[in-house]
Amino acid sequence: MIKILIVDDEKPICDLIDLNLSASGYQCTAVQDGMRAIEMIERDAYDLVLLDIMLPGADGYDVMEYIRPLGIPVIFITAKHEVRDRVRGLRLGADDYLVKPFDVVELMARVEAVLRRYNKADRVLRAGDVEVDVEARKVTKAGRPVVLTNKEFGLLVLFMQNRNIALFRERLYETVWEGEYFGDSRTLDLHVQRLRRKLGWEQSLVAVYKVGYRLEVPQ
């Protein structure tokens, strides 16, 4: 399981990130102090660190200096939005830089992108009795193969990577169809309906009014 360390002095933000990443299958630890973050990194191995800059104990730049020789990927998440702050963070070795306030869906996408870059992304996704081998592009339900089209497979992976998160139609369409969304949802709706039938997800893959769809998986 992918292990992520969340470092932010605002506990509500830590809780929000932890809730969404844990719902997507990541193992999260959260701390609110820079020195405490360094202690945790000394004690355990993490696949990714989400790091605020303005921290008590040691600021995010100091923590980044400690992390850099270890080769652990880092995403800065901070209210410091000036170009000079971004440049400093990236030059210190951060892999990405996200400014508060942020959209949770965007955070999830950035986490996935960085993990893929380091070849750390989960190759097998699970939700209930459905299992997806992403690299082999194989899907099973209760151990039995399920045949999906390319677009259905793309939607399934997106839903499973964002379990219990409402995904906007625009993002679903633009990610899977790789084109601009013009408001015609018929194609997307038909593919979601077929995915529901093939996986028996009539109650799990739910429509979210004026938003899109959400895959509901018990915590």
Residue corresponding to tokens 């030059």: 91
Rounded-to-integer distance, Cα 150 and Cα 162, Å: 19
Higher pLDDT, 122 or 7: 7
Mean pLDDT of the chain: 89
State the Cα torsion 219-1-111-119 to the nearest 10°.
Answer: -150
pLDDT given for residue 163 in this prediction: 85
Give start and end residues of each alpha helix (H) in 24-103. Answer: 34-43, 60-67, 83-91
The three-state secondary structure class of 27 is strand
Of the two residues 84 and 197, the one the predictor is more confident about is 197
- pLDDT value, residue 219: 62
Q: Can you say whether residue 39 is alpha, beta or left, with left for phi > 0 and alpha for psi between -120 and 50 degrees?
A: alpha
Q: Give the tens place of pLDDT for each residue, 139-170.
A: 999 999 999 999 999 999 889 888 888 888 88
Task: Quote the pLDDT of residue 122.
Answer: 66
What whole-number distance in Å separates Cα of residue 203 and Cα of residue 104? 24
Give 210's contacts (C-beta < 8 A, 6+ positions apart). Answer: none
The answer to whether 52 and 12 have CB atoms below 8 angstroms apart is no
Instruction: Output 106 or 7, whichever has higher pLDDT.
Output: 7
User: Whole-prediction pTM value?
Assistant: 0.65
Rounded to 10°, the helix 34-43/60-67 angle is: 20
Query: Do the beta carbons of residue 101 and residue 76 sit within 8 Å?
Result: no
pLDDT digits (tens, 9 = 90+) for 12-50: 999 999 988 887 778 999 999 999 999 999 999 899 999
Whole-number CA gyration radius for the chain: 19
How confident is the model at residue 74, as a pLDDT?
95
Percentage with pLDDT > 70 across the chain: 97
Which residue segments constitute the domains of the chain, with CATH numbers given? Answer: 3-117 (3.40.50.2300), 124-215 (1.10.10.10)
